[in-house]
Amino acid sequence: MGSDTQPFDLAVIGAGPGGYVASIRAAQLGMRVALIERDRLGGICLNWGCIPTKALLQSAHILSLMRRAEEFGIHADNLRADFGVAVKRSREKAQRLSKGIEYLMRKHKVAVFSGEARFTSAKELEVGGADGKTKGSIRAERILLATGSRPRLLPNLTVDGQVILTSTEAMLLNRAPASMIIIGGGAIGVEFADIYQAYGTAVTIVELLPTILPYEDEEITALLHRSLTKKGIKILTGTKVEQVIVEAGKAKVRVSNNDGNKELSGETVLVAVGRVANSEVGGLKELGVATKNGYVAVNEWMESSIAGIYAIGDLVGAPLLAHKASHEGIVAVEKMAKLDDVTPVDPRRIPSCTYCHPQVASIGLTEAKAKAEGYTIRVGRFPFSASGMAITLGEAEGMVKVIADATHGEILGVHIMGAHATELIAEAGLAIALEATPEEIAKSIHAHPTISEAVAEAALAALGRPIHV
Ligand code: FAD
């Protein structure tokens, strides 16, 4: 070890929700922690993902409500929207939260190194500056990789930030374009569709698979498809993008589906076809780390194939979600600290949320998956059109769907489309974590009037005795 090499118990590479949360937990457990970040604290989530998109969605939601103002007895004449200001606000929120992580690192005495980490051995890292020069070296007993992911691009298509965009450029435009073709109908594509549609952009989503949000319950995605179409978003599912040509500041997108070939034209194209793991950390390949489909391969305790090197978050694969990354980070460091009660992250307990309006949220098995796994199921549904609170809010679209095992009663999955779905899913998460039954949800008294009553009613419906339908 060189004289200027600093010793740590744990070095974490990447300060996204995986890496910074793992650093805090490790510090709480008494480890001396180094956190290395080449860009901004908070990673994609705070700076280029969850947070700025939710800020933009909030602006879009307020604008949509203002357009309906008359319905609520409010005259909003001369309504004008400034997308540039919404973007500025979203950047401010992201910066504020990133600053908050700086404070948390100081509070927990995590040593933050700014620069690009590369391995010089399985226990040593160099931190390089933007000029490529080494700024320092670190030795750590354990190294946790939390380097995240970046947008997947399409072959032969250059992202120019003007016509061809990824999610990063799409959250920095200073005005809403006249039209946008969104390639990919996953959560990111759908959220941007909702944002831009609200600001008057003519949005078309092109999705290769048969449904948008392809991992959600089919009944829910069908409802969402209908709702977004009603808003004016065009959705082409089962449709393949054959070619994208940029000409005179516009894009032509050739697509094919069962109806034949078609050419769409748009002022902008958002490529939202998934993400690629940042697995090219310097020196890692040379150490011989095992990968699987481009992701770093790990066991249930987030250990890679190299002793002492762990990996978490987007880097280790789907679902690419911030809370999954954070939980994997906690599991990894608690296991390092040999805590007794650590349990691996159970994929069935990871909620999935899409923050378009109406929102979509789910946890556990879809109806199709539950059947495919051989369960005999009971399904309870409760429409928001029968929820007093949803009606008063003027957001009576959607439903809660509870799927329970008919034999033992255990709740297998909960799927929601509608107002505050992304908040309601926490109750379902707790129910699944406690292996609760619909009976137990129904016995828990839900305040009236709340949207959460719909969860209790769907649970009652699974028992065959809903009250309000
Ligand atoms: P990241 O957040 O990607 O952080 C990795 C960090 O590592 C980066 O800061 C990077 O600079 C750094 N790094 C990489 N290599 C090195 C190196 N060699 N040296 C030093 N530093 C390095 N998820 C949700 O749960 N909810 C949402 O609402 C949501 N919305 C999203 C919206 C968009 C537009 C996008 C793109 C993503 C969204 N996600 C959402 C996904 C979420 O952002 C990711 O799942 C999450 O950020 C992954 O966390 P992570 O810690 O694994 O990696």
DSSP states along 92-119: HHHHHHHHHHHHHHHHTT-EEEESEEEE
Which of 25, 36, 93, 147 should be mutated for ligand 1, with most atoms under 8 A from CB?
A: 147
Q: Measured from the CA of 54, which atom of ligand 1 is nearest? A: 28
Task: Give yes or no for a contact between 301 and 330, defined as CB atoms under 8 angstroms apart.
Answer: no
Centroid of ligand 1 to alpha carbon of 450 (angstroms): 33
Cβ atoms within 10 Å, residue 126: 19
Centroid of ligand 1 to alpha carbon of 232 (angstroms): 31
Domain with CATH 3.30.390.30 in the chain: 358-462
164-273 under CATH 3.50.50.60, yes or no: yes
Q: Measured from the CA of 320, which atom of ligand 1 is nearest? A: 45
Name the CATH topology of 358-462.
Enolase-like; domain 1 (3.30.390)
What does the pLDDT read at residue 119?
97
Centroid of ligand 1 to alpha carbon of 43 (angstroms): 5
Centroid of ligand 1 to alpha carbon of 46 (angstroms): 8
Distances (CA, A) of 216 to 49, 53, 367: 20, 20, 10
Residue 313 CB–ligand 1 contact under 6 Å? yes
Binned average pLDDT, 10 residues per bin, the chain of 469 residues: 80 98 98 98 98 98 97 96 98 97 98 97 93 87 98 94 98 97 98 98 98 98 98 98 95 97 97 97 96 97 98 98 98 98 96 98 98 98 98 98 96 98 98 97 97 98 96
Domain with CATH 3.50.50.60 in the chain: 5-151+276-336, 164-273
Positive or negative: CA dihedral 214, 172, 52, 200: negative
Place of tokens 């909030």: 58
Report DSSP letters for 189-250, one per residue: HHHHHHHHHHTT-EEEEE-SSSSSSTTS-HHHHHHHHHHHHHHT-EEE-S-EEEEEEEETTE
Place of tokens 């160099």: 126
Among 323, 357, 448, 468, which one carries the catalytic annotation? 448
Residue nearest to atom 27 of ligand 1 (CA): 50
Residue 18 CB–ligand 1 contact under 6 Å? yes
Q: Phi/psi at 177 (nearest 5 deg)?
A: -70, 165
Using CB atoms within 10 A of its CB, is residue 440 exposed (0-12), middle (13-18) or buried (19+)?
A: middle
Task: Give yes or no for a contact between 231 and 381, defined as CB atoms under 8 angstroms apart.
Answer: no
State which amino acid sits at residue 146. Answer: A
Centroid of ligand 1 to alpha carbon of 191 (angstroms): 17
CATH of 5-151+276-336, one of 3.40.50.970, 3.40.640.10, 3.30.60.50, 3.50.50.60: 3.50.50.60
Give the whole-angstrom CA distance, residue 248 versus residue 77: 37
Tokens of 328: 């994997």
**Model-level pTM greater than 0.95?**
yes
* Residue 132 DSSP SS3: coil
323 catalytic? Reply is no
Give the whole-angstrom CA distance, residue 11 versus residue 121: 13
Cβ atoms within 10 Å, residue 161: 14
Give the whole-angstrom CA distance, residue 251 versus residue 273: 17
Residue 325 CB–ligand 1 contact under 6 Å? yes
Residue 14 CB–ligand 1 contact under 6 Å? yes
Residue 59 CB–ligand 1 contact under 6 Å? no
Residue 128 CB–ligand 1 contact under 6 Å? no
What does the pLDDT read at residue 3?
54
What does the pLDDT read at residue 4?
76
Give the whole-angstrom CA distance, residue 453 versus residue 445: 9
Tokens of 420: 């505050």
Length of the chain: 469
What does the pLDDT read at residue 286?
96
Centroid of ligand 1 to alpha carbon of 4 (angstroms): 31
What does the pLDDT read at residue 41?
97
Residue nearest to atom 12 of ligand 1 (CA): 14
